[in-house]
Every structure is written in C-alpha cells, then in structure tokens.
Amino acid sequence: MGFFGTIGYYICIPFAALLRLFYNLTGSYGIAIILFTLVIKLILLPFQMKSKKSMIRMSRMNGKIQEIQKKYANNQAKLNEEIQKFYAEEGVNPMSGCLWSFIPLPILLALYSIIRQPITHFMMLSQEVVQKMVTAVTAAGADMSAIVQMKDGAAVVKDGITQLTAYGQINLVKTVSSTLPELGNSVDGWINMNYDFLGLDLSATPWSVVANFALTGAVIGMILIPILAGGSQLLFSRITMKQQPTPEGPGAGSTKTMMYMMPLMSVYFAFMMPAALGVYWIAQSVISLVQEMILGKFYNQKLEAEETARFEARQADRQKRIEEGRRQQEKIRQESETKMTLKEKQRAAQEAKANKKKISTSEAGRVGERPYARGRSYKADRYDSEQ
C-alpha cells in the first residue's frame, strides 16, 4: 500500500465505522447507505448553510453586478475593480461558498473504496484475512473466476499475495456469505454481508445486467438506479443554478455545459460501479434537493428581513441627519437673532447716550426743565419792576 493508499485507508476508517454501525442496526445494506448519507449531510449542514447564504446573497446582488458589467463592458480592468469594490462594500466573499462544494467528492471516493473493498475497508480486516479467505474458498472448490485474477488457468500471485479482480473482495464476501457462512463466523470481525435491497443486488454493476438483459423487475430496477442518479442530480443542479448569479459572456456557456455534463457523468459511473454507489448518489441528490429548497426559502426570507432592516436603518439615519441639519439651521438662526438683538440694544444705548450728552448742561444754567434758562448776564430780578 503506497503513501496515498495509506492516507485513503485512514480517511475511510470513520466512514466505514458509521456505515458498519447502520448495517449492524438495520441488517440492510441499502438502508445503511441511505442513513449514512443522511448523517453525513447533517454533519456538513453548518458549512453548507454558510455556503448557501453566501450563494443567495450573490444571487440577490446579481442585478447590480449586471449593471456594473454593462457599464464597464469595454474596460475589463475597471470592471474587475468595480466588482471587487462592490463586494467589499457589501461584505461578500464570492469564493466563500466554493470550498464546501468540493467536500462531497472525497466522501464519494471513500465510500467507493468501502463498497469495493468490503473486507479491508468496511470490516477493517487485514490483507492476511483476505488471503486466508481466498485459500479457504479455493480449497472448498468454489468458482474463483470472478474473485482472483487468472492467467493460463492459474491464479496470479505477486509477492505471495493472490491478486484479486477489481471487485474480487465483493465477490469473495458474497461467496463466503452465501455458501460458507461458517467460515466467515470463524473469523473475528467478519460480517456475512447481505447485499439484497428491494430485490436488487447492490454489489452488482448495472452494466452487467444490461449485458445479460432480461425483462424482469430486478433488471429494470438495476437499470433505473443510474438513470435516477443522473436525473436527481440534474434536477438538483437546475434548482441550484436558478439561485446563483447568472453569468454573462463566455462563462455562461461553460456553466450550462457543466450543469448537464455532471449528471451524465453520474449516469456513466453509476452504470459501471456497484449499484450501492448509485443508491448513495440518489439519496445524496434527493436529500440535497430537499435541503436546498428549505435553506433557499429560509435564507431568502432572512436576507429580505436583513435588507429591509438595513434600508430602514439607512432611512432612519438619513432622517436623523436631516433633523440634525434642521436643528443646526434653527440654532444658527436663533444665534443670528440674538446677535441682532444685542446689536440693537447696544445701538439704542449708544444713541441714548449721545442724546443725553446733547441735552445735558450745568445746574447753573437750568431753571426747572429749561436747560439754558440762565446765561452769563443772568440776574434773577432782571425783569422785576422797580418802583
């Protein structure tokens, strides 16, 4: 086992433990995979909620982004600058939702390894156990053509280890579980697997039944698994795309192409891999679809409320500034009137003082209210008649 194989093995351990737990509880491989998918989605839900919120915010800003794109259509540098400026003003990171979209891929690869290698990656038994089972089954006279690699009528052995076919471990487990269950019971940690689910063999590949087509319910069901896997993912992709910003220019065509290519790839891989993986694909798409609809409705309402609150806050702030401006103007007007009143009082006082100086005289020249009743030659008895 190489470095990457070792890393992949340890990545599989927690997923295998979870799938094994559900299989032991239900006894059904199909139900165990569905429950496994549900729990994984719940574990990833907080991260996907953050991604979904960012995606919806981007979608709601799509109109403004398109306005910027049209305005600076002939200036790419200015266009990028204005869009980045707009994102900064809105507090949005357009890449924040991208990271979590890649998480399902390593989970899918880990699950494929668990399904394809049930002895070493599901039961977590050693390679020595695999070799022991191969030897015991061969000695029991079982058909080994679908289990080990054959060359010139003999099993291929490398470094003392019998080389298995691509799905040799699955076929080995099926052979032991169906014909030699006591052999499996003798090995600590061994599980005699039952791959039957709704009358379908989840260990088989749908393409194998196409090659031996017969109009039976089991064959039709096996063929429907890849079709449902691709169809559910296409539906999920279409709903997701509607809630994302609509790209313009060359990117629009590639986005639409990817929307159809991924489901088609799902159909292809689901035909070529064990049907159990197709069940996971269907469950994952259906659960994601339900989650998408619920989170979409929730965050649209939440963001609508937040935008309304921000608008009302801006309006209140604007009204506050208007009122503050009015108060400032009133204060200036009142101060101006107060200054005018003081000036008028000072002017009146000055005028009164000036008038007072004009009409005042010494007491020597005053008689009653007449300020100049006396002169230099004043004589009190000037006009008295002298007899």
- Mind listing the pLDDT tens digit of every residue in the chain (387 residues)? 555 567 777 889 999 999 999 999 999 999 999 999 999 999 988 888 877 777 777 777 777 777 887 888 787 888 888 888 877 776 666 665 555 667 778 888 899 999 999 999 999 999 999 999 999 999 998 989 899 999 888 889 998 889 999 999 999 999 999 999 999 999 999 999 999 999 999 999 999 888 777 778 889 999 999 999 999 988 888 887 776 655 555 555 566 777 778 888 889 999 999 999 999 999 999 999 998 888 888 888 887 787 788 788 888 888 888 988 888 888 888 877 776 676 677 777 787 777 765 555 555 555 555 655 555 555 666 555 554
Write the pLDDT tens digit of every residue in 135-173: 999 999 898 989 999 988 888 999 888 999 999 999 999
Q: Which pLDDT value is given to residue 104?
A: 78
CA dihedral 314, 317, 323, 326 (to 10 degrees): -80
Q: Where are the beta strands (DSSP E) in 250-306?
A: none
CA distance 219 to 322: 75
CA dihedral 313, 316, 317, 323 (to 10 degrees): 180
The number of domains in the chain is 1
Cα 306 → chain centroid = 17
pLDDT for 254: 63
Q: Which of 257, 190, 8, 263 is nearest to 113 (CA)?
A: 8
Task: Report yes or no on 118 lying in a domain.
Answer: no
Note whether residue 222 is domain-resident: no
Please tell me the predicted confidence (pLDDT) of residue 230.
92
Instruction: Determine, yes or no, domain membership for 312.
Output: no
Rounded to whole angstroms, the Cα distance separating 114 from 163 reads 18
Is residue 229 in some structural domain? Answer: no
Contact (CB, 8 A) for 133 and 118: no
Q: Does residue 170 fall inside a structural domain? A: yes
- Helix 76-90, helix 62-71: angle, nearest 10: 150
Residue type, 103: I
Task: Establish if 145 belongs to a structural domain.
Answer: yes
pLDDT on residue 371: 57
Calpha distance 271→229 (Å, rounded): 10
Beta bridge partners, 200, equal 197
Range of the domain at 151: 126-190
pLDDT for residue 325: 87
C-alpha span between 269 and 277 (Å, rounded):
9
For helices 250-272 and 217-242, what crossing angle results, to 10°? 160
Residue 136 within any structural domain of the chain:
yes
First to last CA, the chain: 162
Q: Each residue of 48-79: pLDDT tens digit?
A: 887 777 777 777 777 777 788 788 878 788 88
Residue 387, pLDDT score? 47
Q: What is the pTM of this model?
A: 0.73
Letter string b/e over residues 243-254, b meaning 16 or more CB atoms within 10 A of that residue's CB: bebebeeeeeee
The answer to whether residue 378 sits within a structural domain is: no
> Using an 8 Å Cβ cutoff, are 168 and 203 in contact?
no
How far apart, in whole angstroms, are the C-alpha atoms of residue 27 and residue 22? 8
